[in-house]
Structure 1
Amino acid sequence: MTEKQGVILYGPPASGKDTVTAALSELDSKYAQFARLKVGTGKTVGYRMGTAQQLRALEAAGDVVYANARYGNTYAIDRPGVDAAFAAGVPVVHLGQVDGIRALADGYPADWSLVLLWCPRETTAKRSLDRGDSDTAARLAAWDATSKDLNAHPGMVWDLTVDTTVSTPQDAARLIDQLMAQRAGTATA
């Protein structure tokens, strides 16, 4: 039996995580964005909205693999959610913290492909404004935090790095799909 495969997309806000995931899903329907549990307000698309009580119950059961706070909300990767995502296909998990990558890779055994999506700070600003974000300043602060986080972990090894200012989402999706196929071939050889 081959090990379950998943994709972790790491990058700052507006680096293309949503767009590349959509292109991956169009390329092959087995890929689907993992909907993190979100406790708070704001954007609901791409999340499973929950309550503080639900989050506390998951924590008490030891089922929170990773949680972080950003934009005044709490975002959690929970074991039951990841189980369901793997049952449905290949989950694509979006993260902006190296600690989150480590927590997921260490806390949920699978063959995780680590993909760094990157864009300059100016690109994040432009993309955020172009898509109508009302919190561009907070997204730029998150870009700064992601850059600092990345620089604090110079030994981090990426399976694939994509500059989303020069690669189309479709090209990035093809590269990720090829990586996954290679890893699957290696795992079964």
Structure 2
Amino acid sequence: MTSKQGVVLYGPPAAGKDTVTTALTELSPTYAQFARLKVGTGKSTGYRMGTVEQLSELEAAGAVVYANSRYGNTYVIDAPGLDDAFAAGVPVVHLGQVDGVRALTDGYPASWVVVLLWCSRETTAERSAGRGDSDTTARLTAWDATREDLDGHPATVWDLTLDTTAASPQEAARLIDQLLTQRAGAATA
């Protein structure tokens, strides 16, 4: 069993992935959001901005664990980036596609805690507008796609499911940390 531990937060836009990650990092500095490689334009905070050439090199080396396109950009989870993230602590990977969750948990050896964070479409609209997103309509389209994705993969097993309108970010972080700690204890027992 690998000693590497990571967290996957899956959910629609504005479900609380950033907020729960912040609560995790406040709980323990070993947690850090995994900065995906982003090829494109727009928001750069939380990403490693890359080029089409870099993506081509990673693909040629077989180092792309998962890539998806949304909002006119390509978002990449790459093995070298994950290696660096695990060397620094416990990476928290944000995903909005079940195929991405499966590609990551099947394609990169680690003990992954996979968490479904959920909120209603209305909550996504309110939170998106409240944080000043200029692309709320696109985020609602992504919410719809996430709902369809979940409906299309009913057999997906989540280690933890949280409604972020009911659980506080701190409670979510505590439950995730507790699950990770239990898994680490079971691995050493």
Structure 2 length-normalised TM: 0.98
Secondary structure of 1:59's counterpart equals helix
What is residue 72 of structure 1 aligned with on the other side? 72
For 1:15, the aligned partner's letter is A
Aligned residue in 1 for 2:44: 44
Structure-2 separation of matches of 1:74 and 1:84 = 20
| Corresponding position of 2:167 | 167
Distance 1:160 1:41 in 2: 33
**Aligned mates of 1:23, 1:44 — CA distance in 2:** 21
Question: What is the root-mean-square deviation in Å for CA atoms of aligned residues?
Answer: 0.8
8 Å CA contact retained: 1:64, 1:78: yes
Identity in percent: 76
Deviation at 1:2, TM superposition (A): 5.3
The residue aligned with 1:34 is: 34
Distance 1:91 1:139, change over 3 A: same
1:1-189 equivalent positions in 2, closer than 5 A: 3-189=3-189
Cα contact 2:2–2:110 (8 A) shared by 1: no
Q: Residue type of the partner of 1:172?
A: A
What per-residue deviation string (whole Å, max 9, x for no partner) do you get for residues 29-55 of structure 1? 000000000001111111000011111
What SS does the aligned partner of 1:77 have?
strand
The alignment of Structure 1 onto Structure 2 pairs a total of residues equal to: 189
Structure 1 residues 28, 40: closer, same or farther in 2, change over 3 A?
same
Deviations 1:52-74 (A, max 9, x none): 11111110111000000000000
SS of alignment partner, residue 132 of structure 2? coil
SS of the residue corresponding to residue 156 of structure 2 reads coil
Q: Output the CA distance in 2 between the equivalents of 1:116 and 1:185.
A: 23
**Distance in structure 1 (CA, Å) of the matches to 2:68 and 2:2:** 31
Aligned residues of 1:37 and 1:75 also touching (Cα < 8 A): yes
Instruction: Give me the TM-score of the superposition, normalised by structure 1.
Output: 0.98
Structure 1 moving runs of 4+ over 6 Å = none
Tell me, what secondary structure is at the counterpart of 1:44?
Answer: coil
Q: Are the counterparts in 2 of residues 2 and 188 from structure 1 also a CA contact under 8 Å?
A: no
Q: Could you say what secondary structure the match of 1:45 adopts?
A: coil
**Distance (whole Å) between structure 2 residues aligned to residue 168 and residue 106 of structure 1:** 30
**Separation in structure 1 between the aligned mates of residue 101 and residue 166 of structure 2, nearest angstrom:** 25
Does the CA-based 8 Å contact 2:118-2:163 persist in structure 1? Answer: yes
CA distance in 1 between counterparts of 2:168 and 2:72 reads 31
